[in-house]
Chains A and B, each alone.
Chain A
Amino acid sequence: MALLKEPDLGTPARHGPSVDLEVDGHQVSVPAGTSVLRAAALAGIDIPKLCASDNLEAFGSCRLCLVEVEGGKGTPASCTTPVAPGMQVRTQSPKLEKLRRGVMELYISDHPLDCLTCPANGDCELQDMAGVVGLREVRYGFDGENHLDAPTDTSNPYFDFDDSKCIVCSRCVRACDEVQGTFALTISGRGFDSRVSASAGESFMNSECVSCGACVQACPTSTLQERSVIDLGMPTRTVLTTCAYCGVGCSFKAELRGDEVVRMVPYKDGGANEGHSCVKGRFAFGYASHPDRVTKPMIRERISDPWREVAWDEAINYVATRMTDIRDRHGVGAIGGITSSRCTNEEVYVVQKLVRAAFGNNNVDTCARVCHSPTGYGLKQTFGTSAGTQDFKSVAKADVMVVIGANPTDGHPVFASRMKRRLREGAQLIVIDPRRIDMVRSPHIEAAHHLQLAPGSNVAIINAMSHVVVTEGLVDRVFVAERCEDFEAWEQFIARPENSPESLEEVTGVPAAEVRAAARLYGSAGNAAIYYGLGVTEHSQGSTMVMGMANLAMATGNIGREGVGVNPLRGQNNVQGSCDMGSFPHELPGYRHVSDDTVREVFETLWGRTILAEPGLRIPNMFDAALDGTFLGLYIQGEDLAQSDPNTKHVTAALSAMELVVVQDLFLNETAKFAHVFLPGTSFLEKDGTFTNAERRINRVRPVMAPKTGKHEWQIACDIAQAMGYPMSYQQSSEIMDEVALTTPTFAGVSFDLLDKVGSVQWPCHEEAPTGTTVMHSKGFTRGKGRFIETAYVPTAERSTRKYPLILTTGRILSQYNVGSQTRRTANIAWHAEDILEIHPHDAEVRGICDGDEVTMASRVGETRLRAQVNDRMPVGVVYTTFHYPVTGANVVTTEHSDWATNCPEYKVTAVQIELGRKPSVTETVARHRGGADPDQPRSHESHDRPAALLGD
């Protein structure tokens, strides 16, 4: 489509009884509280404006939106004037025109007249308004005092701040406050000296700015301007698509010149983000065209051989022949596949179909195995299906929110902005996390309770909270009686003395009184909502903890309406979707067990092949079977096992033991070192399909360019199936979604046509809810009754010892994404050029470690080196690091321990020892501070010998 410019109604929408008024003789009805500016816009009358925007509260500073009100005095600003019944408004009169022209004269007298060479030429509201008010002269001349020589701040890698073009409308400041919630910007000085200032007069890069882009989006001039627009010029067309980073799944306008992406602009009608973005989605898309991309298929007989570029046909036939050969020699269970949460629903669906119909087994798993598989287990056991209960908007109705094992400002920043907005309105916050995350205390936000528990004691703390709810009369007896089952047995279990906060204080390390206060706050709230992340799931009791949270929510009646619920914050963009599509070895699409004859029959009839009724191998089982010599062929779609899975030595030994490893990815990743075939994948800018975000929202991913590889990823899977003798083909990816809708009840009626028509839908979709369901379990649970399950606390077998006295836990940082293969290939490395070990001052001092020192981190399975940062975010005895750089190798030290139910690795608890390595030289320190990170991936097609490294998605 042509460049899409979304309408701006000037001030935010209001909700209230209808008010009738007249604007320039036109009748209009709007909700009470609506501004005259917005009412006029809704009547089709655009009043000139500069400081107003419908995502910001009215400010009334630019004085352009003046109107006259019959019977009223003066010329009020329409943005700050609410409508009133019977009001008669005039937006045009000689007096108003003169006033507006006068205001514009003053603006323009202090503005560079370089429109023809300005990057915002054609996209500048100041330029537009000068035209609208009919400005023809500037009587004051241009020689007076002005800001034309103000310097430009180019410190941020993605946008410039050209102070000489600033009209001090404060839209950027208000966007930072109201939309993003960071409060990094302000107006310094008074009167003529008023200027936008980042933090306390610092550069943007050195300020508290998080580069979300809200200020750039809000700027009506070219003051805050994307560097890509400065370099490339204004885009000329728009493709609506979906971000490929975290599970928030923001909708974006990809704005292009030809096939070149100039910028990604958050889409106001996007259901998940409503016009907001973060530094990754907004700016870090350059990896898609990075020179490291491999776009030709390659094969090699042995992993010690050099890669050889081949045609697609040869690569496909090679995979098919060798997979078939392994199956013939070693049995049907000797091969399998792994799907990726970075791929579309359609791409994932065809891979699981490839495995089940062409390979002939259920040996298909997904990278959700190492992140949210316990969510799948826990929520299905208690509620009936693996899904967050709410939409993101729901948090605006929460009175209390509990954040457990998640760091939303870094991991899910756009949703964090929604949370912070609600907290500023007065909602209460409980944080349960060993680390003092930013949300514990940040501008205008302070958690009522931070339960800084010992890693591994999640179940103990949730049991203690439920104990308080049950023993202090906070149970919603009506909800429980009507909606749930097995409550009495659970009540007796949880009321036992051993589940009291006092009994568990020694385990959790949290004072019992603090636990009791938090439980009372949650249990007595009108609406209380739980949001959680991998700090819940990546434990030996990850599934138990998910069930524990579900118990607590059901006991207090916090399920089934807006403002409540149990909500996983999914790590990757399509974790939800990849699980929905039948990626687990025990489940067909729609979370239906393979042993269900009726369900199998649906697929067998359509696919023309028999499906095994027994579960297949999980990812860690595949590794063990490979070392056993019974699993020898693996097709890996977009997953870097050698970096993301625990105990790297074990993983790489297993990969090395296989006869055929096929890697399909954008880059030659760590796993590709052990591959025999490399099949080039496509970036999100080339994909045509759908992603499903953490709120079950199915969003379209539209291609902005043809695949750089010449083939869509779903076509690759189809071609392999065909070459193995199973007919599987689609003309276009929409046909794959049609097949999903046909076979999967929760996706009934979903199609690309529907999504193009309504924007997005949240499953379940069915006859009664053809456009989806925002809040789940509102009338009954998916399984009928919500089921209480006893959740006994069982300590992890991973313990600190004299040799490994500290506990390592891991997380992520805002600017980087998971194993970093995307973000490390963007300018985001300016914020995070290496992984850092956070260590408490006490633990550092007794080891002689100072800030910036290189340290060794060793566990019983491996050792790595990284740099230390001494701070008190972590309690004594606990250290923390991120896992974005393979050179750091965090998964070298993580162990075999896993969730008992799903085998999700226990990334969050590893006993380690930290020792001082060597002091950095002055030269190294300077280089590091300049962002001089070593590239960690090969730039050629040659295999390289660096140690295979680490970490978890």
Chain B
Amino acid sequence: MSSAEVARLANDIAAQFAHRSSADASLATATHMRTFWDPRMRRQLIDLVAVGTGDLDPVVVGAVAHLDPPT
């Protein structure tokens, strides 16, 4: 999957929780990804944040801190 697509999908989720505090929003975003995303997509997002690329919502960056790297 392209990095841009992963970023778009992640940002879409984060936007739905934007009315909450940033900590809550990040946690909710991470929970959603853990529940519904295939591990390879989560891994790709984690890598994306790690290298600092991608046009990511800060809520998404915060969400990644709650995600364990899939095995």
Contacts and interface: CB of A to CB of B under 8 A. Distances in A.
Interface stretch (A169-177, A388-396, A480-488, A610-618): A610-618
B12 A900 contact: yes
A678 to B, nearest CB: 28
Nearest to A362: B38
Nearest to A377: B36
A621 B2 CA distance: 10
B18 to A, nearest CB: 7
Contact of A614 (B8, B15, B20, B70): B70
A540 B12 contact: yes
A792 B19 contact: yes
Nearest to B37: A615
Contacts of B39: 614-615
Interface stretch (A622-630, A683-691, A835-843): A622-630
A901 interface: yes
Interface string A868-910: 0000000000000000000000000000101011110000000
A630 B40 contact: yes
Interface string B32-71: 1001111111000000000000000000000000000010
A624 B2 CA distance: 7
B18 A794 contact: yes
Contacts of B41: 621
B36 A900 contact: no
Contact of A333 (B8, B9, B40): B40
Contacts of A615: 35-39
A900 B16 contact: yes
A544 interface: yes
Given A621-B1, A628-B1, A900 B35 contact: no
Contacts of A901: 13, 16, 32, 36
B61 to A, nearest CB: 17
Contact of B38 (A544, A593, A616, A627): A616
B19 to A, nearest CB: 4
Interface residues of A, number: 30
Nearest to A594: B35
A333 B44 CA distance: 15
A900 B13 contact: yes
B7 to A, nearest CB: 12
Contacts of A333: 38, 40
A615 B41 CA distance: 11
A639 B55 CA distance: 34
A898 B13 CA distance: 11
Contacts of A915: none
A388 B32 CA distance: 23
Given A624-B5, A630-B40, A903-B9, A794 B35 contact: no
B54 to A, nearest CB: 15
Interface in B7-31: 8-9, 12-13, 15-16, 18-20
Contact of A624 (B1, B16, B20): B1
Contacts of B1: 621, 624-625, 627-628
A628 B19 CA distance: 34
Contacts of A616: 38
A900 B18 CA distance: 13
Contacts of B20: 790
A614 B20 CA distance: 27
Contact of B18 (A625, A792, A903): A792
Contacts of B32: 901
A586 interface: yes
Contacts of A903: 9
B38 A585 contact: yes
A796 to B, nearest CB: 10
A902 B70 CA distance: 21
A794 B36 CA distance: 21
A555 B71 CA distance: 43
A941 to B, nearest CB: 35
A593 B35 contact: yes
Nearest to B33: A615
A586 to B, nearest CB: 6
A636 to B, nearest CB: 19
A305 B2 CA distance: 31
A618 B37 CA distance: 8
Contacts of A896: 5, 8
Most central of A585, A614, A625, A790 by chain B CB within 10 Å: A614
Interface in A321-346: 333
B1 to A, nearest CB: 4
A140 B64 CA distance: 93
B36 A586 contact: yes
Contacts of A618: 36, 38
B4 to A, nearest CB: 10
Contacts of A593: 35
Nearest to A543: B16
Nearest to B19: A792
Nearest to A617: B38
Given A586-B35, A593-B35, A790-B19, A625 B13 contact: no
Nearest to A593: B35
A493 B24 CA distance: 15
A898 B16 CA distance: 13
Interface string A722-738: 00000000000000000
Nearest to A900: B12
Contacts of A544: 16
Nearest to A361: B38
Nearest to A586: B36
A541 B8 CA distance: 15
Contacts of B70: 614
Contacts of B2: 624, 627-628
* Best-surrounded residue of A627, A794, A896, A898 (most CB of chain B within 10 A): A794
A720 to B, nearest CB: 23
Contact of A794 (B8, B9, B15, B37): B15
Contacts of A900: 12-13, 15-16
Q: Kindly name the residue among B13, B16, B38, B70 whose own CB sees the greatest number of chain A CB atoms within 10 A.
A: B38
Contacts of B38: 333, 363, 585, 614-618, 621
Nearest to A624: B1
A600 to B, nearest CB: 15
Given A792-B19, A900-B12, A625 B36 contact: no
A209 to B, nearest CB: 46
A627 B6 CA distance: 14
Contacts of A585: 38
A787 B67 CA distance: 26
Contacts of A902: 36
25 contacts: A333-B38, A363-B38, A493-B19, A595-B35, A614-B38, A614-B70, A615-B35, A615-B37, A615-B39, A617-B38, A621-B41, A624-B2, A625-B40, A628-B1, A630-B40, A790-B19, A792-B18, A792-B19, A896-B8, A898-B12, A900-B12, A901-B13, A901-B32, A901-B36, A903-B9
Interface of A: 333, 363, 493, 540-541, 544, 585-586, 593, 595, 614-618, 621, 624-625, 627-628, 630, 790, 792, 794, 896, 898, 900-903
Given A541-B16, A624-B2, A898-B12, 20 more contacts: A540-B12, A593-B35, A614-B70, A615-B35, A616-B38, A618-B36, A621-B1, A621-B38, A624-B1, A627-B1, A627-B2, A628-B1, A630-B40, A792-B19, A794-B15, A794-B16, A896-B5, A896-B8, A900-B12, A901-B32
Which 6 residue pairs of A and B lie closest in terms of their CB atoms, listed nearest first? A624-B1, A792-B19, A900-B12, A617-B38, A614-B39, A794-B15
